[in-house]
Amino acid sequence: MTTLTIMQGDITRQNVDAIVTAANAALLGGGGVDGAVHEAAGPDLLIACQKLGGCPSGEARITPGYRLPARWVIHTVGPVWQGGNAGEDAILAQCYRQCFAVAREYGLRSVAFPSISTGAFGFPVRRAARIALTEIKQMLRQTEFESIVVVCFEPEVYTAYRMLRAEIGV
């Protein structure tokens, strides 16, 4: 039975098999959660990312976690919000599915997600939370992970995810 935890905190401190970071297509670090992940993982993470040659929006790549408590980092690139009519919902949903696919491929049992695309990429938080939790619910039916954690940094994001969790029933 997989447990889903929604928490407020810092994803870089999570002791799970993999944390997911919200990157950009260059995979060369940035601000937000990606900046925090690179800062905590140390310089070897950037070196590993440079060998990956980038990542298209909607896809995911995996590297070791280096100095992070998490053994692995799954790098995904969410959609930039463009008003909702440019396929953003589908790309965001694909990010979650691709991250789960990589985790399954590596036999990982616990994965922590940030709120992908809801910071610099401007995706509306409630809409993103609905997509994220819908994909997680779908995945929980199909695959055995021990633990899925959604780590919300800001209080308002945490509130949104908790509300949507109740609404979706996951």
User: Which residues would be at the binding site for ligand APR (CB under 6 A)?
Assistant: 10-12, 22-24, 30-36, 78, 114-121, 151, 153-154, 157
Residues 6+ apart with CB under 8 A from 4: 136, 140, 147, 148, 149, 150, 165, 170
Nearer to ligand APR among residue 21 and residue 62 (C-beta): 21
Main-chain dihedrals φ then ψ at residue 20, nearest 5 degrees:
-95, 135
Whole-number minimum distance, CB 28 to ligand APR, in Å?
A: 8
Report the SS3 class of residue 167.
helix
Residue from 39, 50, 48 nearest 11 by CA: 39
Tokens read off for 134: 């819908």
In order of 65, 124, 132, 159, the CA distances from 95 in angstroms are 19, 16, 9, 22
Nearest to 48 by CA among 28, 67, 23, 68: 28
Q: State which residue, 62 or 119, has the beta carbon closest to ligand APR.
A: 119
Tell me the C-alpha to C-alpha distance, in Å, between residue 111 and each of 26, 100, 133, 148, 156: 23, 8, 14, 5, 22
CB 80 to ligand APR: min, Å = 8
Which one of 17, 34, 44, 89 is the catalytic residue? 34
Q: Which is nearer to ligand APR, 134 or 153 (CB)?
A: 153
Q: Rounded to the nearest whole angstrom, what is the least distance from the CB of residue 147 to ligand APR in the complex?
A: 16
Nearer to ligand APR, 91 or 103 (CB): 91
- State the DSSP code for 26: T
| Distance in Å, CB of 87 to ligand APR, minimum | 16
89 is catalytic: no
* Residues annotated as part of the active site: 34
